[in-house]
A and B are shown apart, each in its own frame.
Chain A
Amino acid sequence: MGILVPLYLAGLTAFSLPLILHLVRRTPRGRQEFSSLMFLSPTPPRLTRRSRLDQILLLLLRLAALALIVLAFARPFMREAASLTFADLTGKRLAILIDTSASMKRADLWQQAMKQAEAELDQLNPQDDVALFAFSDHLQTIIDFQKEGAAPIADKPQVVRNRLKQLQPAWGATDLGTALVSVASDLVSASDVQQSSLEPQIVVISDFQSGSRIEALQSFEWPKRVPVVARRVSVTNPTNAHAHALPSEDGDTSTDVRVRVVNAADSRSDQFFVAWVSGEALAAGSARTAPPAASAVPLRTTGGLTPSARQLREEVAVYVPAGQSRVIRLPRGVENLHADRIVLRGDDHDFDNTFFVVPPRKLEATLLYAGKDAAEDPEGLQLYLRLALANDPLRQVEIRSLDDAKELALPPELAPKMVVVSQPLSGELPATLKQYVERGGVVLLVPRDDETAASQFALLSDAEVVGVARPESSKGVEEPEANHALRKGSWRATPRSGGEKYLLLGDIDFTHPLFAPFAGPRYSDFTKIHFWKHRPVTLKTAATTRILARFDNSDPMLLERSIGQGRVFAFTSGWHPEDSQLALSSKFVPLVGALLDLACGGGEVADSVVVSQPVTLADSRRAVGVSPPVDLDSTDAPNTGGLTPPARQGHVILVRTPDGQEKRLDAGHSAFSETDLPGIYRAKVGSTETRFAVNLSPAESHTAPLNLEQLEQRGVRFGADLTRVERIDRERQQRDTELESRQKVWRWLIVIALATLILETWWAGRAERQVIAGGSMSQESSRK
């Protein structure tokens, strides 16, 4: 015998009602005031035996009616089965989603998450099915649900437990939405296919940071039958800030890097320090502790490494209130030129305090100069070349004169990077140069004079010099020879009045890496450079030589031809004073630098990406110079516009990760997607090395807790968080309800109660009639 709604039994307290009424009946009905009691004496209460019996019967009847009604409301039923055990519970299909994003590295969040997951597994019944998923920026199935037809895994919770222990938080961002959507749809489809009676449920163990991406939920209709239980883990010290470098503004020539410092919304501190730190210095300084390269967070607030005195001196203090961001300029001094990371200090959590920036490579190269002019000759070419390459902290170029042609035959690693030729090609030199180029060398041909030009252009087999051309008379009055003689040894800063004949650069291919730095409208003005002398060149039909720049009379100014693995660049006009003003121009130094970079290929830097974002390493040669479409979510490294090195067809790409591992990228593949660790990656494509920085997603640093209502607004149905005992209670209640609705004992109780009431009414009526009869008799007697 069970009772469905025991609360109604409280109605039995109504039993006291007839009892009280009965007792009231026995006490005097009222109080009679009287002037004096001097003639009165107390009388004992008058009770006859008969009336007492009557009343008790009535009382019993009324009590019985009440009890029956109360019982009917309490909905009694006959229980058939014994009490429920856990085995009687309907099974559930539980998906445990564990957040393995970088923010879970904070404090003891991961330990908390493990405990939560263990607790969840403890609540499982044998008939339940469980799956374990880890999610950061992508969903990872650790252990899937039992497939239909597959042999069941023995002691699945234990298996899950073991796998759980192997899990570690990675460096990815949090894409909660996608994870939820895919698991939910998985659950629904699995339940539909298997016609399973298991109740699906998702348990998400996460820190639910506000940087989690939940957009995927927007376009997903959440299945009603899949409830989500959110288990939030939280830290006691929430202060977290993050610094990342911004792309330099157009036209910003300073070496300062703009750094945005973002403070989480729930931070308690607002003073932070940002500094450049060099990875090598760090590795040298922290050899004792020897942390993994990627997670080497140099500036720790608690324990570990302390900032060196120099770093402290160069730190930039920044005040950022909670929930806001500030952009500061972080000066990059000469000593920090090779620092590869920006480090933030002052918050409670270190996981996002390092931002990697690919440092400019220190270029050490040998350049051979083949020319007759002396190194100090102001009329020559070599002086200006030396001047352009000197005093560059990033390039250490040794310029030697080409004495021995054998030097060019050295293997590519040892061979000079570039050969500048200003003398006529004669003897074995053209053949040697050609071989050199075919093996990957770069040759720059600069004709000192006309005859030199003719021999030089023979190297470009599909171009030939037409003759020496000077600007035509239409440009101005022919300059007297005397003036020309006078001009020797001195620069003409501005065109003389009276009109000197000169040519300007007309058509420049800014898509070429040589001219790419000048592509911006502020730098694309080449009209200040006057050319007085050039050698007109005509290209043969179907020539492979490209014209990179033309004069305004459409004569070529700069030609490029790829031969073998190398290239040949050829100027038709020199930069020495006799030919042009080019060496005087501000464009000269960047141009030479770009040529050198092109020759060495060492300074090639790919765009910075966030963790788990693929990097395109190989590209066709034609797309050289075109920035790959890398979206970095406003955290583009300052080295945008860097080159994506051309992967030579058929080359195997070797990528060296920050923790020292080498990953091979097979021939034909160009996208490297194993960027699962923040740090600087080095990709070797043939002889060239490309570096790219991989950083944490800035969104991951928004560690303020996410309001779970936002998930609800996007349709996620949150379920009740029930323990096993609570579930069994609920189950029992459900069964009782069913049983009760089948038996419907209450109807019979009501019928009996009605019968009792009828009997009671009849009895009471009889008693009333007797009382009235007695009363009228007494009245009559009193009247008499």
Chain B
Amino acid sequence: MKTATPAQSRASYIDPAALMRIKNLQLRAKAVVEGFLSGLHRSPYHGFSVEFSEYRQYSPGDDPRYLDWRLYARSDRYYLKRFEDETNLRCYLLVDLSRSMGFGSVNYNKAEYAKTVAATIAYFLTLQRDAVGLITFDQTIRDYLPARYRSGHLHRLMMCLEHQLAGTETDLGLPLEQVARTARKRGVVVLLSDLLAPVESLETKLGYLRSQGHEVIVIRVLDPTEVNFTFQDEAMFFDLESGRELYVDPQAMRANYQQRFSEHAQELSRACSSLGIDVYDLTTDQPLDLALFDLLNSRMRRGRQVARRRRI
């Protein structure tokens, strides 16, 4: 399980709590991404699409245009020289807007944080001229925007993110199936959720996507109290989704909770890694820009891993 801690060494001057106070989500995204981009120019990102990928031995029927003539001159063997594809990216943002996302112990709740993340990524990808799609869901799919790159699309996306929380439970399977059905071309699927649901069904559905060649990034948005369970007083605990009430003494329950929570996290982590999916845990008290940096960083590493695997 990867955490977002590496980014903490880098200085970030933008406080997410202050950003949340700005109402316009697009501006907010812009500020974050621009601040982020300023440190990115020196990174190897740009050379990515023109980079050499691999050599492959020529077999009859291959396009002779890709023959590496210099290698042929040296070794008198026909090899095709291959580069990374330069098609633009189709990215699907899956944002969980169920009521459990409405919980927050800081000034904002998980849903707002997740929306900001989604908006930021969407803005960022739009700047890169990539197509961005959006699915918001709870137990059903609330909004569906296919991945596009055109003017006004970002605005519609932002409007969809403005919608209020609803729903009584979280069904992660449905949006994943939807993406699997509609996105035929390989792309990136970013799932923003607290993933407070049984792991088994999730594993199957994520498997569909992976099998279609999509790259899946799971960003798990969590509230710090959900991780640490720092409640002090006993109280009736009220489930935001199901409305169930339970009398809990946190002091007595804490150890138990933490144990069960980490078990769930480990199971999730195991399932994802078996499918080659990266899981990032974002707690809402983390600065957003650092979180995004980690995300993109891991994406870059993923690309390298794939390249390495193919090379072997």
Shortest CB-to-CB span from A48 to chain B, Å, is 13
Q: Does A35 contact B (CB under 8 A)?
A: yes
Digitize A33-45: 1 where CB-to-B-CB distance is under 8 Å, 0 elsewhere.
1111111111101
Stretch from A24-32, A133-141, A414-422, A742-750 contacting the other chain: A24-32
Q: CA separation between A629 and B230, bound complex, in Å?
A: 114
- How far, in whole Å, are A45 and B248 apart by their CA atoms in the complex? 8
Given known A-B contacts A42-B247, A43-B252, A43-B253, A36 and B100 have beta carbons under 8 A apart: yes
CB nearest to A775 among chain B residues = B232
Contact B236 A41 (CB under 8 A): no
Chain B 195-235 per-residue mask, 1 if CB under 8 angstroms from chain A, else 0: 01000000000000000000000000001001000111111
A35 to B242, CA, bound (A): 10
B91: shortest Cβ distance to chain A, in Å?
27
Given A41-B253, A43-B247, A33 contacting B103 (CB threshold 8 A): yes
| Complex alpha-carbon distance, A42 and B239, angstroms | 13
- Return chain A residues, CB-CB under 8 Å to B231: 32
- Say yes or no: is B260 at the interface (Cβ < 8 Å to chain A): yes
Contact status B241-A36, CB under 8 Å:
yes
Which of B236, B241, B251 gathers the greatest number of chain A CB atoms within 10 Å?
B236
A165 in the interface (beta carbon within 8 A): no
Q: Which residues of B contact A782 (CB under 8 A)?
A: 230, 232
Contact A45:B247 (CB < 8 A) given known A39-B260, A39-B261:
yes
Question: Which residue on chain A has the smallest CB distance to residue B239?
Answer: A37
Residues on A with beta carbons closer than 8 Å to the beta carbon of B246: 37, 40-42
A41 to B257, CA, bound (A): 9
Q: Is there an interface contact between B237 and A34, defined as CB atoms closer than 8 Å?
A: yes
Residues of A within 8 A of B247 (CB): 28, 42-43, 45
Name the one of B194, B234, B240, B261 contacting A43, with C-beta atoms under 8 angstroms: B234
B223, B238, B256: the one within 8 Å of A41 (CB): B256
The complex places the Cα of A34 from the Cα of B247 at a distance, in Å, of: 12
Partner of A37, one of B102, B230, B234, B237: B237
**With A32-B236, A35-B223, A37-B239 in contact, do A43 and B248 touch (Cβ < 8 Å)?**
yes
* Nearest neighbor of B109 in chain A, beta-carbon distance: A35
A46 CB within 8 Å of chain B: yes
Known contacts: A43-B247, A46-B252, A782-B232. The answer to whether A31 contacts B261 by CB under 8 A is no
Q: Which residues of chain A have C-beta atoms less than 8 A from B253's C-beta?
A: 40-41, 43
Main secondary structure of the interface of B (DSSP, over half): mixed
**B234 close to A34 (CB less than 8 A):** no
Q: Are A40 and B240 in contact (CB under 8 A)?
A: no
In the docked arrangement, what's the CA distance between A501 and B128, Å? 160
Q: Is the CB of B244 within 8 A of A46?
A: no
Residue of B nearest to A39 (CB): B260
Are A40 and B100 within 8 A (Cβ)? Answer: no
| CB atoms of A40 and B257 under 8 A apart | yes
- The one of B110, B235, B264 that contacts A28, using a Cβ cutoff of 8 Å: B235
B264 to chain A minimum Cβ distance, whole angstroms, is 7
Closest to B222 in A: A35
Nearest B residue to A782, CB-CB: B232
Chain A residues whose C-beta falls within 8 Å of the C-beta of B196 in the assembled complex: 35-36, 38
Cα-based distance from A36 to B196 in the complex (angstroms): 7
How many positions in chain B have a CB within 8 Å of any CB in the partner chain? Answer: 36
Using CB atoms, name the residue of chain A closest to B257: A39
From A29, A34, A45, contact of B239 by CB (8 A): A34
Give the chain B neighbours of A36 by CB distance below 8 A: 100, 194, 196, 239-241
Q: From residue 235 to 285 of chain B, which have CB atoms closer than 8 A to chain A?
A: 235-242, 244-249, 251-253, 256-257, 260-261, 264
Residues from chain B with Cβ under 8 Å of A39 in the complex: 256-257, 260-261, 264
Assuming the contacts A40-B253, A43-B248, A46-B249, asked whether A35 and B234 have C-beta atoms less than 8 A apart, the reply is no
Other-chain residue from A28, A38, A46, A778 in contact with B236 (beta carbon distance below 8 A): A28
In the complex the two chains form, is A29's CB within 8 Å of B240's CB?
Answer: no
Nearest-Cβ distance from residue A779 to partner chain B, whole angstroms: 8
The answer to whether B238 and A35 have CB atoms under 8 Å apart is no
CB contacts (< 8 Å) of B100 on chain A: these are 35-36
CA distance A43 to B231 in the complex (A): 14
Residues on the B chain within 8 Å of A29, using CB: 233-235
Question: B176 in the interface, Cβ–Cβ < 8 Å?
Answer: no
Report yes or no: B226 in contact with A32, Cβ–Cβ below 8 A: no
Within 8 A of B (CB), among A729-783: 778, 782
Q: With the chains together, A42 CA to B30 CA distance in Å?
A: 45
Measured CA separation A782–B250 after assembly (Å) = 12
Residue of A nearest to B169 (CB): A36
- The residue in A30, A32, A36 that gathers the most chain B C-beta atoms within 10 A of its C-beta is A36
- From the candidates B103, B230, B233, B256, name the one contacting A34 in the complex (CB within 8 A): B103
Q: Which residues of A contact B261 (CB under 8 A)?
A: 39
Known: A33-B103, A35-B196. A40 touches B234 (CB 8 A): no
CB distance from A457 to the nearest CB of B (A): 140
Pick from B110, B196, B237, B247 the residue with the most CB of A within 10 Å. B237
C-alpha spacing A623/B231, complex, angstroms:
123
Among B194, B233, B249, B260, point to the contact of A35 (Cβ < 8 A): B194
In the complex, A46 Cα to B244 Cα: how many Å?
21
B161 contacts across to A, CB distance below 8 A: none
Residues of B within 8 A of A38 (CB): 196, 264
In the complex with contacts A35-B196, A36-B241, A37-B239, A42-B248 CB distance below 8 A: yes
What distance in Å separates the Cβ of B224 from its nearest Cβ neighbour in chain A? Answer: 12
Chain A residues whose C-beta falls within 8 Å of the C-beta of B248 in the assembled complex: 32, 40, 42-43
B236 and A35: CB pair below 8 A? no
Given contacts A28-B235, A42-B247, A43-B248, contact A35 B101 (CB under 8 A): yes
For residue B239, give the distance in angstroms from its CB to the closest CB of chain A.
Answer: 4
Closest to B230 in A: A782
CA A35 – CA B109 in complex, angstroms? 10
7 further interface pairs, Cβ-Cβ under 8 Å (given A35-B241, A42-B246): A28-B234, A28-B235, A29-B235, A33-B103, A36-B241, A40-B248, A46-B234
Q: List 21 A-B contacts (CB under 8 A).
A: A28-B247, A32-B231, A32-B248, A33-B238, A33-B240, A34-B238, A34-B239, A35-B101, A35-B239, A35-B241, A36-B194, A36-B241, A39-B257, A39-B260, A40-B246, A41-B256, A42-B246, A43-B248, A43-B249, A46-B252, A782-B230
6 A-B pairs closest in CB distance:
A35-B103, A35-B100, A32-B235, A36-B196, A43-B249, A39-B260
User: Which A residues form the contact surface with B (CB < 8 A)?
Assistant: 28-43, 45-46, 778, 782
